[in-house]
Amino acid sequence: MPSIHPADLERRRSRCRPVIESLRHLARETQGTCNVCGSVHNAVLADADRYGFPIRTALCTHCGLIYMADRFTPEAYADFYGSGAYRSISSEFNGARQKIAGIQLDQLEYAAHVIAAVEPYVRRRAGAQLLDVGGSTGIVARQFADHFELAATVLDPAVREVAAARELGVNGVIGSVETYQPAEKYDVVLLCRSIEHLCDLRRALERIRELLQPGGVFYCDVIDYLESCRVLGPPQVVSKVDHCYWLCQETAPVIFGALGFEIVSVNVSYEPGVVGYVLRRGEPAPAECPTSTVHQILRRIRELDADWRQLARVPHDLRHRARRMGFRFKRQVRLAARRLAAAADAIQLPEFVNLRAAIRRKLGNNT
C-alpha cells in the first residue's frame, strides 16, 4: 500500500502553499524536447507535482528519460537553492525541519557505503583529486579525502552548505557543474543524491566526462522513479519541482550509455529505492530504450495510479493516521540509531568521537 494517502497529500500540499506563493516570482520554462536524445515524443505522467505546483512530468518514449516538462529556469533554480527555499518546501512537505547537523549525521553512514562501493576501482596516487558535485555539507568529500588521500572539492549551489563544507577543511565552490570551469581534472567524481537536481542532464554528465582523468571513476546513484511510485504513490505524489530528471533501473543503462559512460558495478544494497552506479568513461551509445520497456513502464504507472485513487475511498481518520505515524516513527528511530552507531565508527572527526559510546549504551547489543 502506498505510504501517502490522497487525503494526506492534500494536507501536505496545504502546508507547502505559503512557500509556493513565495516562489511564484521565479521564472519558468517549458521543455519541448528530451534533454538526452532530443526526441519530441513523450507521455505525460502528471500535471502537478507533489507540492502542488502546476507543472507536468513527462516520459520520453524514445530513451525513457523522465523529466519535468515545466520547470524553473536555470537562473531561478540558482535562487531556489541558494536562498534555502528547497530545504523549506521539502521540510513543509515532510513535516520536519532539516538542519545542517542533521544533514551531516545522515551523510556519515552514507559516506562509508559509497567508499566501500568504489574502493576496488579507485587508483591511489600522489596529488589525486576528488570532485563532489552537489556535495552539500562536505561530509562525504571529507571522508573520501581522508580514506583515499585525495584533495577534495565540493561543488554545490547552496551557500550555507558550502560554508559547512569549508569548515571541515574541504575546498567549497558555490555553483553548478554545467558551468564549472576548473583548471584540473579529477580522479574521482561523485554525484551523490544529486542527479535528479541537475538543470541540464546532458551537459552535466558530458562535463563530468570531460573532468575525469583517464581511468578515473565516476560514482552516481539514482532514486528509482518506479520504485518511488510503488512505495509513495503515483507520479503526482513523487514528482517535485526540484527534481528536473528521474531515472529508473530499466532506463539508467540506456541514458548513461548515451552520455558516454560504461557501467562497471551496480549496487542496490544500501538504501531502498536507490541504485548506485560505478562508471567509467566509454564511447557514447545510441539513446534508444526498447519500445516494450517504455510500454511496461507506462502500464505499471497507470496501475499504480489506479490503486492509489482507490485509497481515497478508504477513511483516513485520525486513529488510522496516528497508527501509521507511530509505526513510521518507531521504525525511523531504530534505523536512525543504528545508522548513528555505524557512522560514529566510520568517522574520525573529533566532535563525533564521544558519540559512539552514548549510542551503544542506548542500543545495547543491537549494534
What percent of the chain shows pLDDT beyond 90?
A: 69
pLDDT over 50 at 359, yes or no: no
Q: Residue range 329-342: average pLDDT?
A: 58
Mean confidence (pLDDT) of the chain: 87
What are 294-319's pLDDT values in tens digits? 999 999 999 999 999 998 887 665 55
Q: With bands split at pLDDT 50, 70 and 90, how would you rate the model's confidence at 152?
A: very high
**Contact between 9 and 237 (Cβ < 8 Å):** yes
Distances (CA, A) of 222 to 108, 213, 251, 256, 340: 19, 23, 11, 11, 23
pLDDT over 60 at 358, yes or no: no
Residue 24 CA to residue 57 CA, distance in Å, equals 19
What are 162-179's pLDDT values in tens digits? 998 999 999 999 998 988
DSSP string, 119-188: GGGPPP-TT-EEEEET-TTSHHHHHHHHHHT-EEEEEES-HHHHHHHHHTT-EEEES-TTT---SS-EEE
Strand partners, 173: 155
pLDDT over 90 at 116, yes or no: yes
* Residues in contact with 304: Cβ distance below 8 Å, sequence separation at least 6, in sequence order: 2, 229, 230, 233, 234
DSSP-based three-state secondary structure for 32: coil
- pLDDT for 313: 80
SS3 content of the chain, % helix, strand, coil (to 5): 50, 20, 35
Give the closest residue to 229 by CA, choosing from 357, 78, 57. 57
Q: Residue range 129-152: average pLDDT?
A: 94
- pLDDT for 57: 98
CA count, 13 A, side-chain hemisphere, 349: 20
C-alpha cell at 77: 533554480
pLDDT over 50 at 367, yes or no: no
* Strand pairing class (186-191; 129-133): parallel
DSSP-based three-state secondary structure for 119: helix
Q: How many CB atoms lie within 10 A of CB 264?
A: 16
Q: Taking the CA atoms of the chain, what radius of gyration do you get in angstroms?
A: 21
Q: Residue range 267-290: average pLDDT?
A: 94
Q: Residue range 228-256: average pLDDT?
A: 96
Q: Residue range 19-42: average pLDDT?
A: 95
- pLDDT for 351: 43
- pLDDT for 76: 94
- The model carries a pTM of 0.84
Who wins on pLDDT, 84 or 234? 234
What are 199-210's pLDDT values in tens digits? 999 999 999 999
Give the closest residue to 121 by CA, choosing from 259, 219, 221, 206. 219
In our burial notation (b when 16+ CB lie closer than 10 A, e otherwise), range 14-34 reads ebbeebbeebeebeeeebeeb
Residue 112 CA to residue 345 CA, distance in Å, equals 10
C-alpha cell at 126: 600522489
Backbone angles phi, psi at 266, to 5 degrees: -120, 135
Q: Tell me, rounded to whole angstroms, the distance of Cα 79 from its chain centroid.
A: 19
pLDDT over 90 at 326, yes or no: no
C-alpha cell at 4: 501517502
pLDDT over 80 at 101, yes or no: no
- pLDDT for 273: 92
Ordered domains of the chain (ranges, CATH): 1-316 (3.40.50.150), 318-366 (no CATH)
Q: Residue range 203-231: average pLDDT?
A: 96
What are 119-134's pLDDT values in tens digits? 999 988 889 999 999 9
Tell me which amino acid residue 208 is: I
pLDDT over 70 at 337, yes or no: no
Give just the sign of the alpha carbon dihedral 86, 38, 252, 284: negative
- pLDDT for 271: 85
- pLDDT for 353: 45
DSSP-based three-state secondary structure for 279: strand
